[in-house]
A and B are shown apart, each in its own frame.
Chain A
Amino acid sequence: MSLVDDSTAANRASLVSQAGPQDFIALLKPRVMSLVVFTALTGLVIAPGGLHPVLAAVSLLCIAVGAGASGALNMWYDADVDALMSRTATRPIPSGRVAPSEALGFGLVLSVLSVTMLGLAANWLAAFLLGFTIFFYAVVYTMWLKRWTPQNIVIGGAAGAFPPMIGWAAVTGSVSLESIILFLIIFIWTPPHFWALALLKSEDYARAGIPMMPVACGEAETRKQILLYSIVLAPIGVAPSLLGFAGITYGLVATAGGLGMIWCAIEILRHREGGAARKASGRMFGFSILYLFGLFAVLLVEHLVLARFW
């Protein structure tokens, strides 16, 4: 009898969607999207030339939706491993609120709409870059790199680094050194940021069989790599000032922030056991978000202030 009941319940669950609109919003990874929107906005604002404010707003919306779509595709493919990790077990698919097919359809439709709309509102180079970003995150990172190599986040980080370049391309119709520098800042920032989180959640990743650096190469190697990437990141963070597309305020903030990143990385290297080690990793994770947000915020404000008063 209970077998029949279970089978009926499972059949019902597969036929009747339990999802509310908030579950589909969760599929878009709103927190990741907020950073994407912010960095893309910076690319839009600091790019030379101008874009009609309405078209700029539509472009930004398209970039946000495209990023959300790639998040939905990521959750569709990763539902099996998400169910095994405490950080992701409550996501809409592993918790059973959204069917995998719903997430796939949702992600694909939003991908096509966002890329098409960006092409029509801005230009097709920006649309191509957005499409490539979605493909890179959903296919190259999620389907290929993530379960295959400890360098997953290093290469996959490119997906998160494209938004300012897309914003720049939406205005100028081109890719230039400035937009490549903005790309590089996020690209080099990504590994120490995620590895700090991976140190905190290494048991989760090990349970799910994801070869994140601490799982595949050990925590000691991860700590060294975090420091190495932080040392490389610090001068790249200052580059916009040195190359003349950011001012002295940005230069000072980037220098202080870069030193802060290196200091956090040294703390991670020094504290390897127990609560102090977890605290150091947590501090690195939190500071890295503040660092990236700070750099792009100062860059944005500098350009808005300069545009207003000079």
Chain B
Amino acid sequence: MSEPTSDPGIILTPEEKRRQRQRNLAIALGLGALCVLFWVVTLVKGSAILQRPM
């Protein structure tokens, strides 16, 4: 049994936490937008999504 370490690791400053939240939000919005894009394109193309001219 090893003793649990007392090293708290890197503690983010309030500014770093704010930026991290902003990045997380941007990634979430980007992924959401990507899902909506795929959904809309599928709706518009219908069965043609599988018939693509080169």
Contacts and interface: CB of A to CB of B under 8 A. Distances in A.
B3 to A, nearest CB: 24
Contacts, number: 51
A12 B52 CA distance: 49
B20 A17 contact: yes
A31 interface: no
A21 interface: yes
A112 to B, nearest CB: 12
B44 A54 contact: yes
A19 B10 CA distance: 17
A123 B49 CA distance: 10
Given A15-B10, A20-B22, A117-B37, A173 B54 contact: yes
A120 interface: yes
A18 B16 contact: yes
A120 B49 contact: yes
Chain A contact residues: helix, strand, loop or mixed: helix
A304 B10 CA distance: 57
A17 B19 contact: yes
Nearest to A109: B30
A21 B54 contact: no
Contact of A19 (B12, B19, B53): B19
Contacts of B16: 16, 18
Contact of A119 (B10, B12, B52): B52
Given A17-B20, A18-B19, A20-B19, A55 B12 contact: no
Interface in A118-137: 119-121, 123-125
A113 interface: yes
Contacts of A52: 44
Contact of B23 (A21, A54, A117): A21
Contacts of A18: 16, 19
A219 to B, nearest CB: 43
Nearest to B25: A21
A81 B20 CA distance: 28
Contacts of B25: 21
A121 B54 CA distance: 12
A20 B23 contact: yes
A20 B37 CA distance: 24
B23 A19 contact: yes
B34 A113 contact: yes
B20 A54 contact: no
Contacts of B19: 17-20
B32 to A, nearest CB: 14
B21 to A, nearest CB: 10
Nearest to B43: A54
Contact of B52 (A19, A21, A123): A123
B23 A12 contact: no
A58 interface: yes
A24 interface: yes
25 contacts: A12-B10, A15-B10, A16-B10, A17-B20, A18-B19, A19-B19, A20-B23, A21-B22, A21-B25, A54-B41, A55-B44, A55-B45, A58-B37, A58-B40, A58-B41, A61-B37, A113-B34, A117-B37, A119-B52, A120-B38, A121-B45, A123-B53, A124-B54, A125-B54, A173-B53
Which 7 residue pairs across A and B have the least CB separation, nearest first?
Answer: A21-B26, A20-B19, A173-B53, A54-B44, A121-B41, A21-B22, A52-B44
